[in-house]
Amino acid sequence: SPPKDWNIVYDLLAEFRKKEEAPVDTMGCERLADLDADPKVQRFQTLVSLMLSSQTKDTVTSAVVRKLQTSLKGGLTLESILEMDEGALDRLIQPVGFHSRKASYLKRTAEILRDQYNGDIPDTLNGLTSLPGVGPKMAFLTLQVAWNKNDGIGVDVHVHRISNRLGWCKTKTPEETRVSLQSWLPKNKWKDINPLLVGFGQIVCLPRGPRCNSCPVSRYCPASDIKTVVKRKR
């Protein structure tokens, strides 16, 4: 069953996020594709952005994607990645975490897309997660952004952390959190929950030293240090 007051908390967070901008709002992976490019190219750029974003801040991912879009011959396309030497690609994406591994993933993915998907990206969860380095979080976000398919919730470390802090679930992994959230959160909120909580996690509900004093839902949060202080005083 849905956790108590989840809808109140959700609405308060949504209202707060309308007023407070976070890095994800301007530099999130769903915003990095070149909107003037062909739709197939846009879908590829969305996938690349998400593949680069793992364990990397939005500010860094955004800068690297823009560099690829402007420095590669013909821009960031399937063809430009196929034509590029893996070592050269590795050097271009060096600011992102695990860049060498991701360069290998991108090269192998480009070959798979060329050989198996007519140069486009898969439009199914199974197809996307079969690509090197693409897990459920990336796959569900790619489906939502690139294909407008709302098949699941993209759960990253922010969504996982905050959902557990709020008492919305009691899980140990992002995948467990996804399953738990999807069991009660209305489907029309699945797409919005990721940017909502990611942005909140970037500016308020930080991994360390959460800013509970400026949190709009601290009175509903079991993990709030404000409640802890009040209880101690009592």
140-156 pLDDT tens trace = 999 999 999 999 999 99
With cut-offs at 50, 70 and 90, classify the pLDDT of residue 226.
Answer: low
Q: How far apart are the C-alpha atoms of 141 and 82, rounded to whole Å?
A: 24
With cut-offs at 50, 70 and 90, classify the pLDDT of residue 232.
Answer: very low
What CATH fold (topology level) applies to the domain 6-20+152-233?
Endonuclease Iii, domain 2 (1.10.1670)
Q: How far apart are the C-alpha atoms of 199 and 21, rounded to whole Å?
A: 8
Q: In the predicted model, is pLDDT for residue 229 greater than 90?
A: no
Active site residue 107: no
Residues 71-80, buried b or exposed e (16+ Cβ, 10 A)? Answer: ebeebbbbbb
In this prediction, what percent of the chain has a pLDDT beyond 90? 94
Q: How far apart are the C-alpha atoms of 201 and 198, rounded to whole Å?
A: 5
pTM of the complete model: 0.91
Q: How far apart are the C-alpha atoms of 149 and 39, rounded to whole Å?
A: 15
Q: In the predicted model, is pLDDT for residue 97 greater than 60?
A: yes
With cut-offs at 50, 70 and 90, classify the pLDDT of residue 23.
Answer: very high
Report pLDDT for 225: 73
**Intervals of CATH 1.10.340.30 along the chain:** 32-146
Rg (CA), the chain: 19
- Choose the catalytic residue: 137, 170, 172, 227: 137
What is the average pLDDT across 160-172?
A: 97
With cut-offs at 50, 70 and 90, classify the pLDDT of residue 70.
Answer: very high
In this prediction, what percent of the chain has a pLDDT beyond 70? 96
Residue 73 is encoded by which pair of tokens?
Answer: 């011959």
Q: Check residues 225 and 172 and name the one with the higher pLDDT.
A: 172
With cut-offs at 50, 70 and 90, classify the pLDDT of residue 227.
Answer: low
**Intervals of CATH 1.10.1670.10 along the chain:** 6-20+152-233
Q: Check residues 25 and 225 and name the one with the higher pLDDT.
A: 25
8 Å CB contact between 2 and 181: no
The CATH number of the domain covering residues in 32-146: 1.10.340.30
Residues 112-130 pLDDT 10s:
999 999 999 999 999 999 9
